[in-house]
Amino acid sequence: MNRHHSIEKQQLVRMLEDAPFEHLTSSVHVLEEDRRDQRHELAGVSIYSNAQGWMAQINWRAVVDSDEVTLRVGDSASGERAYELRDEQRMQVSVEDEGGEPVSEDEVSAIVAQSPLAKSWEQDVVGVLKETRERQATVH
C-alpha cells in the first residue's frame, strides 16, 4: 500500500490558511554543549495537528549563546527536511505544481514560512527553549 500522495501547491496554501495547526508536543535534544562559552546546540522536533486530522512535523535546530538564540528549520547538511506533512490517514504528503511536477523543499519551506503554522511555531519554540533552559538550570 502506498503511504504517500501528492497535493497541489494551492491546496497546501489553502489548508495552511483555512485549517490552522495547533501545537501538540515538542522534543529537544542537546547536540553539543560548550560550558566555557555558555553555548548549546539543540535539535528539536515540534508536532502539530489541525481539525481535519492532518499532522505537521517541524524539524529545527537552535544555537543558544549566552546572549542570543539562532533558529533554523531543517538541516541541509544532514538532508533533514524542514517540514513533513501527513494527511488524516497518516500518509506522507508531497507538493506538486499545477503541471504535476514536484515542488522543491525550499519552495515548500517558503510557503509554510508565510503561514500561521510558522508564526505559531516561532512562539512555541521560544517557550520550549525557555522550559529547556529552566530544566538545565535546575539540573546543574
Q: What is the pLDDT of residues 10-36, one digit of tens each?
A: 999 999 999 899 999 998 888 877 767
- How far is residue 96 from each of residues 49, 102, 112, measured CA to CA in Å? 22, 4, 14
The structure's pTM equals 0.82
The yes-or-no verdict on residue 40 having pLDDT over 50 is yes
The yes-or-no verdict on residue 2 having pLDDT over 80 is no
The model's confidence at residue 140, banded by pLDDT at 50, 70 and 90, is: very low
Average pLDDT score over the chain: 85
The model's confidence at residue 138, banded by pLDDT at 50, 70 and 90, is: very low
* Count of H-run helices and E-run strands, the chain: 3, 7
Q: Given this model, what pLDDT does residue 95 score?
A: 95
Written as one letter, the residue type at 21 is F
End-to-end CA distance of the chain: 49
Residues 82 and 137: their CA atoms lie apart, in Å, by 29
Residues 47 and 26: their CA atoms lie apart, in Å, by 6
The yes-or-no verdict on residue 76 having pLDDT over 90 is no
Q: Which residue has the cell 529537544?
A: 28
